[in-house]
Chains A and B, each alone.
Chain A
Amino acid sequence: MGLVLLVVIWLITLVSSYFFYAHTWWLPHAASAAAPAIDRQFDLTFVLMGIVFLAAQLGLGLFVWRYRDRGQKAHFSHGNNTLEFTWTTLTAILFLGLVMASNRIWAEQRFTPPQPGAIQVEATGLQFAWYFRYPGPDGQYGRTKPELEDASVGNAVGIDDADPAAKDDVVSGVMVLPVNRQVDLTLRSQDVIHSLFIPAMRFKQDAVPGLMIHMHFTPTQVGDYEIACAELCGLGHYKMHAVLKVVSEPDFAKWLAEREAEKQ
């Protein structure tokens, strides 16, 4: 029985570890400025936790087999304070060191204001779609009113055209961004909580009704990336997705100008 248990624990441990080690399923291709630091921290955590995982599981399997009842006498001991002190200290250093390193990355991303020259985009979540608004040449978002929100007349965001700042606002169902330029993103929700999740950007942030949440990130590679909703928002949660198109700066300017022209 001891041997069976050892084999089962070891097999589970090694097979599970293999798929992590082989990256058979892994974080999607990273395409934002913040992603490399996050991914490095990820790898570091994986290596450290992986070592602990292997040591603990293989040790557990080994012990139950090695010390199975064969009529021997059990060693009489109530413990060892030196050992307790040692593993407590080592674990504390490991865990707190890890979070200290990690929080530097968090601080760099979330404690800093957006760069000057960042492109402004407002993302609005509603059951069950995302809308992206660009403030246009004036750099000002127009006023919105809940009573004007009506997707059937093409004004899902509820822009009030009486506001002069609203005249050049562009709303799109696709999030188009120029490459290598920071986006200064404002997140809103009209109904329940949604969450803008862009795996390739290593970006996720809830859009909370009643709050305007400011975030920023910088796409670094041209391409199409999927946006999913990561907060349960109702029966259509699974289909609330959109596309992020990262394009070159000239292509972006051209796209925005065309949308502006359509609007006039």
Chain B
Amino acid sequence: MATSEQVHVHPAPTGFLRKYIFSLDHKVIGLQYYFLALFSVFLGMGLSLLMRIHLVWPEAHLPIFGDIKPETYLALLTMHGTFMVFFVLTTAPQGGFGNYMLPIQIGAPDMAFPVLNMLSFWTTFLALVVMVAAFFVTGGAPLHGWTGYAPLSALQSSGPGEGLGADLWITSIALFCVASMMGALNFITTTLDLRARGMSLMRMPLTTWTWFVTAILGLLAFGVLLAAGILLLLDRNAGTSFFVPGGLVLSGQIINHKGGSPLLWQHLFWFFGHPEVYIAILPGMGVCSQLLSTFSRKPIFGYKAMVYAVLAIGVLGFLVWGHHMFMSGMSPYSAFAFSYMTMAIGVPSAIKTFNWLGTIWKGKVRLTTPMLYAIGFVSLFVSGGLSGPFLAQPSLDIPLHDTYFVVAHFHLIMGVAAIFGIFAATYYWFPKMFGRMMNDGLGKIHFFLTFIGTYAIFMPMHYLGLAGHPRRYSQLTEVSYLHGLMPLQHFITIAAFITIGAQLLFLVNLFWSMFKGPKAPINPWEATTLEWTVPSPPPHDNFGGKTPVVYHGPYEYSVPGAPQDFVMQNDPKQYGEGTAH
């Protein structure tokens, strides 16, 4: 194993361009990812607000935007999902916080491949530019949803937005895949090769574990999506028929394809798409574990079980993709295998939840803003997780598939739970990243509004789904049983207005604190991991040329005999931590 001393150390850059734009420093790249995600999340949220407005006031003329036609609604829906899944949930937790914190948490001066890291960010940036461009071309953004099911996505004539807009959409995602694989390679190599002396795998913080496993998932999953995306581009532009069968008639025109399989796209897409769910949520689980331990002043309950659960989720995550396809025309026999695997993945998820509750139990809980978000994460993870066993049963998926019940499920668990992980990480690591503290009072108001608002938006969607409300309907006027559900839809839209409005508090707090917040000490939360041993913000090479040596596990809080209620990982003294197991 190469130790961090052996890896080349690049000197601190001096020019603006090399320091802030084409930087090789993992911390700057982490911030670049974070701000890219911040831009995308507000864009994605804006799109969702337009959708909510259109659903309940379909006749509304919006300033600047004008009318929302059915195809506009579907374009909003497609782009909302795409921005959120790729450019927010994949980008902020991993590319943002993972990039910034992983090297410091394992005692490394930088990522293993700094140039690759820079390249990975700028490819992601290019992907974002291409994706945004899809709004502005003739026909606008595609309407095929973030899952891009063929043949809707494979035929230029299947609807507005399926021309150049769809090509840009696929190109952007292909670029994103390449960027993510570059990032994943870097994370994996860094974790395996650059750990400081004493930082054994089983002493790594759970955040590092989740970034590491997420990187492995990304490396394996994004390659498949990249391949699928290229095949789809060929189908659309080169006359191939990977996903388009023969004999199709679209708008009176016979389509000149034959022999392709629409289900092949779904298999390839979900082979990526399900691991992607864990790519979005695993880092949040890591952050939640780290914060619950820190702010409960207790070691994480069942560290080993937590590590094994993350690994189990990683492995099983690749064996469950078919649960998206129970109604797809796939063999009904394979539904058996996928349903068992899907239920099995609930077990490590439950283990994690129990261990989180076990960590708080008999703790000394400091309810800071980051801790509130970690607790909110647990609550949302439970709520979103428990609708999983419904959808995992093929026979219950019959009434629920493609209804708002599914929308509620994945928004709670991979959407807002992961967002709560990002918020928790932001409030927690902001002092380290910017050297200043965020406003705690404003943070708490932001938490309660967001927490209640989130439930007000997504809980009622379960009820809509139960009543048979299909998703992706731009107008609710045609199918008669939807009329009775309009009051719920109104309620959700109002809740969305308030919740999205509350996010302005976060923006204000973020930018105000960046420049005006009180100066942060090195270790404001009295936490134990290595990032809290270096200045805030850390110097260019993180540890000032001195590689740390690690003597303790990551969560040694309230150790009997220790002078304080936390033992830093690099504290050379031994206390009584081996006594309790």
Residues of A that sit less than 8 Å from B by CB: 1-2, 4-5, 8-9, 12, 16, 19-20, 24-28, 37-38, 41-42, 45, 49, 52-53, 56-57, 59-60, 63-64, 67-69, 72-80, 83-84, 87-88, 91-92, 95-96, 98-99, 102-103, 105-107, 109-111, 126-127, 146-147, 149-150, 158, 187, 190-193, 195, 197, 199, 202-206, 208-211, 213, 226, 228-239, 241
Contact = CB atoms under 8 A, between A and B. Distances in A.
B557 to A, nearest CB: 7
B507 interface: no
Contacts of B470: 197, 228-230
A57 B350 contact: no
A209 B260 CA distance: 10
Contact of B263 (A60, A72, A199, A208): A208
A9 B302 CA distance: 25
Given A25-B488, A191-B249, A208-B263, A8 B386 contact: no
Nearest to A96: B343
Nearest to B342: A99
A201 to B, nearest CB: 9
Contact of A8 (B327, B452, B488, B559): B452
A98 B388 CA distance: 12
A99 B305 CA distance: 24
A206 B328 contact: yes
A45 B347 contact: no
A75 B475 CA distance: 55
Interface in B371-400: 372, 375, 378-379, 382-383, 386-387, 389-390, 392-396, 398-399
Interface band, chain B? 35 or more
B486 to A, nearest CB: 12
Nearest to A196: B327
B248 A191 contact: yes
26 contacts: A12-B379, A20-B462, A45-B390, A45-B393, A68-B365, A74-B363, A75-B361, A76-B559, A77-B301, A77-B362, A87-B350, A102-B394, A103-B336, A106-B394, A190-B249, A191-B249, A191-B250, A192-B250, A193-B149, A204-B402, A232-B143, A232-B472, A234-B143, A235-B70, A235-B143, A235-B160
Interface of B: 69-71, 74, 143-145, 149, 151-152, 155, 158-160, 245-252, 254, 260-263, 296-305, 327-329, 332-333, 335-336, 339-340, 342-344, 346-347, 350-351, 353-355, 357-358, 360-367, 372, 375, 378-379, 382-383, 386-387, 389-390, 392-396, 398-399, 401-403, 444, 448, 451-452, 455, 459, 462-464, 466-468, 470, 472-476, 478-481, 485, 488, 557-560, 565, 577, 580-581
Given A95-B343, A98-B389, A99-B393, A192 B151 contact: yes
Contact of A210 (B155, B262, B298, B367): B262
Nearest to A49: B386
Contacts of B488: 25
Contact of A191 (B158, B355, B367, B557): B158
A28 B482 CA distance: 11
Given A38-B395, A63-B357, A84-B355, 17 more contacts: A1-B444, A12-B452, A25-B463, A28-B468, A42-B390, A42-B396, A72-B364, A78-B303, A79-B303, A84-B354, A106-B335, A107-B336, A197-B470, A210-B260, A210-B262, A237-B70, A241-B478
Contact of A208 (B262, B354, B363): B262
Contact of A237 (B247, B339, B464, B472): B472
A122 B143 CA distance: 28
Contacts of A96: 340, 343-344
A227 to B, nearest CB: 9
A42 to B, nearest CB: 6
B299 A76 contact: yes
B317 to A, nearest CB: 16
A230 B403 contact: yes
B351 to A, nearest CB: 6
Given A52-B386, A57-B379, A98-B389, A1 B367 contact: yes
Given A67-B363, A96-B343, A60 B379 contact: yes
Contacts of A60: 357, 360, 375, 378-379, 382
A98 B343 contact: yes
Nearest to B326: A106
B254 A147 contact: yes
B263 to A, nearest CB: 7
B354 A87 contact: yes
Nearest to A28: B468
Given A64-B365, A229-B470, A45 B389 contact: yes
A5 B367 contact: yes
A234 B474 CA distance: 10
B157 to A, nearest CB: 9
Contact of A83 (B358, B448, B474): B358
Contact of A38 (B332, B398, B452): B398
A235 to B, nearest CB: 4
A57 to B, nearest CB: 6
A166 B560 CA distance: 86
A49 B390 contact: yes
Contacts of B389: 45, 49, 95, 98-99
Contacts of A59: 357
Contact of B329 (A68, A191, A206, A238): A206
A57 B376 CA distance: 10
Contacts of B246: 210
B146 to A, nearest CB: 10
B421 to A, nearest CB: 16
Given A53-B383, A205-B327, A235 B159 contact: yes
A135 B344 CA distance: 45
B350 A91 contact: yes
B151 A67 contact: no
Given A190-B248, A205-B327, A241-B478, A102 B396 contact: yes
Contacts of A213: 329
Contacts of B300: 78-79
B398 A232 contact: no
B362 A74 contact: yes
Nearest to A56: B382
Contact of B360 (A63, A72, A210): A63
A204 to B, nearest CB: 5
B105 to A, nearest CB: 20
Contacts of B383: 16, 53, 57
A75 B363 contact: yes
B364 A69 contact: yes
